Homo-oligomer: A and B are copies of this chain.
Amino acid sequence: MSVKAAENFSRESLEQILKRRFFYAPSFEIYGGVSGLYDYGPPGCAFQANIIDTWRKHFVLEEDMLEVDCTMLTPYEVFKTSGHVDKFADWMCRDLKTGEIFRADHLVEEVLESRLKGDKAARGQAVVEEEDDDKKKRKKKVKEIKNVKLDDEVVEEYETVLNKIDGYSGEDLGELIKKYNIVNPATGGPLEPPVQFNLMFETAIGPSGQLKGYLRPETAQGQFLNFSKLLECNNERMPFASASIGKSFRNEISPRAGLLRVREFLMAEIEHFVDPEEKTHPRFADVKDTKLSFLPKGVQEAGSNELKVTTVGDAVATGMVDNETLGYFIARIHAFLLKIGVDPARLRFRQHMSNEMAHYASDCWDAELQTSYGWIECVGCADRSAYDLSVHAARTNEKLVVRKPLPEPVTVENFEVDLDKKKFGPKFRKDAGAIQKFLLERTQCELEDLSKELAANNKIAVDIKGVGSFEVESDLIKIAKVQRVEHVREFTPNVIEPSFGIGRIIYSIFEHLFWSRPEDKDRCVLSLPPLVAPTKVLVVPLSNHADLAPLVAKITSALRKEQVPFKVDDSSASIGKRYARNDELGTPFGITIDFETVKDGSVTLRERDSTKQVRGDLADIVNAIKEITYNGASWAEGTSKLAPFETAVEES
């Protein structure tokens, strides 16, 4: 199927159709809506379900992953440990007079961009207007857009700031706001310095109101917390992956750009647990020749956006992509996105720069899709190292480790602590437990120092935050190097995490596959691949003639039996109009029933993008539809046994 999407793309026209045909719409619209919340209507919901079904087959079934479904409600302690309570936040500025709240980085971005635009206009240069509706609405209120020429060095400074906007801390943003005299754009009023706003929705679990909880901002933690059970499900074998599909929530300060930044969204996440010393992948050979467009961090740090097109094999061999497992998943993500309709020319893998990485990640590559809003992060592929399992294990005292038999036993020498516990109680009373715990949790390096201290002074000084300072004498403690033979290696696995934002992928695919027919720009087509199209077949009787009705029933019953999703359009509109309405919905096939059908049972099959038609027996036509939709046959392959069919009036 040919896709003519990018040419003459009109976002307005796409968004109007998506809304009119109820692919999605603002939630609670009759109540005025709530920004950042959207409902999927029937075609959007079916498209989403088909994408999820494809995802499950592509990843969970094909790779034998362990799928879990964990709760969204999560107690405070879990996100305190994972770091989200302290670090999962954006910076916001308040206007104390009007009560308005701005997301600090977006505010700096918009004000500087509008000043640069004013400068261009003052210099008599063309200004490109390509903004989303939200932004336009906000801009209307902006007082300060005057066409003021700026000094050349100011222009350069603004541009540098804009390029680095994702990397600033709250303090940095506060300084920029002061330095560039950024105020409330609508009123000119002053703003408070940026403060952190945590993006998690908070609630109370249970009737007492005492147990604070959050709605999860990602599905990952549920998978980490179940690690030991999952390892057991996998017969203690490594590596393995878990997977989860479900809603997550982020209380965005100022949601915008439709489905691209929302407060409730569907995620599909994989946590691949791997031995940190063995990040090879058994199926890497299957994908190593896949050619991809990479944007490594070095290139970006040098201020460029030039893509490096190379194979995954080469990317791993040269060290650009850290290891085979990461490379394998990047290639699998690429294959999945193409399967569901992404235009490969508008897909790139961008490596995170160190200043923009999430607090848990040690390396990260984003699959970004190009849209009229720019390049959008749609899939993250992060190496979370051993971060999550380690912090949860430390907090709960549960071991989240793998024990692997060693091929040969090894002798290891470690400092060990030997406490005379009976003497601790009488000596330290209520603090005895805390002191013992403190001593038993020291690292090898710390123990080495302590052993020297003990040898030198016959005692050691112990300083425990919140408990106190103590001296432990040598009759209570021995610290010595001990040799042991080990048969098992115990380690905390590393985690490679491919994480899919389904709503963002859906919107980007709409942009990639939307076009209008050259002969009539009002006839729009959404060229969704048959595999994921909401409806596969439109059944169209030529007229309302009574002879045709039993044939409609016969054909729909055949399609229902074969579980091919279809719709009937027996309205009085022209055939051409009925097809046009379903081209908008992305329905790939049409079956027309006419008076020939009454005579010999034959029907025509129409292909959406080319409007080509073939004719044949119902059984052969249904077979062709199934071959193309579910078995990956092309139109030519699927219809090779069917007769071409020409009609002058069909598309009128």
Binding site for B on A (CB under 8 A): 21-22, 25, 27-31, 34-35, 37-42, 44-46, 48-49, 56-57, 61-62, 66-75, 77-78, 92, 99, 101, 197, 201-208, 211, 213, 215, 222, 225-226, 228-230, 232-233, 235, 246-247, 249, 251, 253, 263-264, 392, 395-396, 398, 400, 560, 563, 565, 571
Chain B residues positioned under 8 Å from A70 (CB to CB): 27, 39-40
**A254: nearest chain-B partner, CB-CB:** B207
Once A42-B67, A72-B264 are accepted as A-B contacts, the answer to whether A207 and B560 lie under 8 Å apart by CB is no
Q: Give the top 8 A-B pairs by smallest Cβ distance, nearest first.
A: A40-B69, A42-B66, A39-B70, A30-B398, A30-B396, A37-B71, A201-B203, A45-B69
Chain B residues positioned under 8 Å from A400 (CB to CB): 30
Once A203-B201, A222-B39 are accepted as A-B contacts, the answer to whether A99 and B45 lie under 8 Å apart by CB is no
Can you spell out 28 A-B residue pairs with CB atoms less than 8 angstroms apart? A22-B229, A22-B230, A27-B70, A27-B225, A31-B77, A31-B395, A34-B75, A37-B73, A39-B69, A39-B226, A40-B68, A40-B69, A40-B70, A41-B66, A41-B226, A42-B66, A42-B68, A45-B69, A46-B67, A48-B69, A61-B563, A62-B560, A73-B201, A92-B207, A201-B203, A203-B203, A206-B253, A235-B571
Cross-interface CB contact of A207 among B28, B197, B206, cutoff 8 Å:
B197
User: CA–CA, A487 to B571, complex, Å?
Assistant: 21
Chain B residues positioned under 8 Å from A40 (CB to CB): 68-70
A22-B226, A28-B225, A202-B203 known; 10 new pairs, CB 8 Å cut-off, are: A22-B229, A22-B230, A31-B225, A39-B70, A41-B66, A42-B66, A57-B563, A61-B560, A101-B208, A201-B205
Cβ of A451 to closest chain B Cβ, rounded Å? 33
Cβ of A25 to closest chain B Cβ, rounded Å? 6
Chain B residues positioned under 8 Å from A201 (CB to CB): 73, 203-205
Cβ of A396 to closest chain B Cβ, rounded Å? 5
Chain B residues positioned under 8 Å from A46 (CB to CB): 67
User: CA–CA, A61 to B50, complex, Å?
Assistant: 13
Chain B residues positioned under 8 Å from A38 (CB to CB): 71
Chain B residues positioned under 8 Å from A204 (CB to CB): 201-202, 251
Check if A233 sits within 8 Å of B68, measured CB to CB: no
Cross-interface CB contact of A61 among B99, B226, B395, B565, cutoff 8 Å:
B565
Cβ of A413 to closest chain B Cβ, rounded Å? 32
Taking chain A's interface residues, is the majority helix, strand, or loop, or is none over half, making it mixed? Answer: mixed
Check if B203 sits within 8 Å of A22, measured CB to CB: no
Check if B42 sits within 8 Å of A233, measured CB to CB: yes
Cβ of A619 to closest chain B Cβ, rounded Å? 17
Check if A205 sits within 8 Å of B34, measured CB to CB: yes
Cβ of A85 to closest chain B Cβ, rounded Å? 14
**A197: nearest chain-B partner, CB-CB:** B207
Cβ of A202 to closest chain B Cβ, rounded Å? 6
Q: Which among A30, A201, A563 has the greatest number of chain B C-beta atoms within 10 A?
A: A30
Chain B residues positioned under 8 Å from A215 (CB to CB): 203, 215
Once A29-B225, A31-B75 are accepted as A-B contacts, the answer to whether A251 and B207 lie under 8 Å apart by CB is yes
User: CA–CA, A247 to B249, complex, Å?
Assistant: 13
User: CA–CA, A62 to B565, complex, Å?
Assistant: 9
Check if A78 sits within 8 Å of B235, measured CB to CB: no
Chain B residues positioned under 8 Å from A101 (CB to CB): 207-208
**A237: nearest chain-B partner, CB-CB:** B571
Q: How many copies of this chain are found per oligomer?
A: 2
Cross-interface CB contact of A392 among B30, B44, B249, cutoff 8 Å:
B30
User: CA–CA, A57 to B49, complex, Å?
Assistant: 12
**A564: nearest chain-B partner, CB-CB:** B61
Check if A208 sits within 8 Å of B41, measured CB to CB: no
Check if B206 sits within 8 Å of A251, measured CB to CB: yes
Chain B residues positioned under 8 Å from A49 (CB to CB): 56, 67
Once A203-B202, A207-B197, A232-B22 are accepted as A-B contacts, the answer to whether A28 and B74 lie under 8 Å apart by CB is yes
Once A57-B563, A232-B22, A560-B61 are accepted as A-B contacts, the answer to whether A263 and B68 lie under 8 Å apart by CB is no
Check if B39 sits within 8 Å of A71, measured CB to CB: yes
Cβ of A371 to closest chain B Cβ, rounded Å? 22
Check if A251 sits within 8 Å of B205, measured CB to CB: yes
Check if A72 sits within 8 Å of B205, measured CB to CB: no
Chain B residues positioned under 8 Å from A75 (CB to CB): 28, 31, 34
User: CA–CA, A246 to B246, complex, Å?
Assistant: 9
Chain B residues positioned under 8 Å from A99 (CB to CB): 208
User: CA–CA, A400 to B31, complex, Å?
Assistant: 13
**A53: nearest chain-B partner, CB-CB:** B53
**A25: nearest chain-B partner, CB-CB:** B229
User: CA–CA, A207 to B77, complex, Å?
Assistant: 22
Chain B residues positioned under 8 Å from A42 (CB to CB): 66-68, 230, 233
User: CA–CA, A563 to B56, complex, Å?
Assistant: 11
Cβ of A367 to closest chain B Cβ, rounded Å? 23
**A103: nearest chain-B partner, CB-CB:** B207
Check if B56 sits within 8 Å of A39, measured CB to CB: no
Cβ of A373 to closest chain B Cβ, rounded Å? 22
User: CA–CA, A201 to B207, complex, Å?
Assistant: 10
User: CA–CA, A22 to B48, complex, Å?
Assistant: 28
Cβ of A424 to closest chain B Cβ, rounded Å? 27
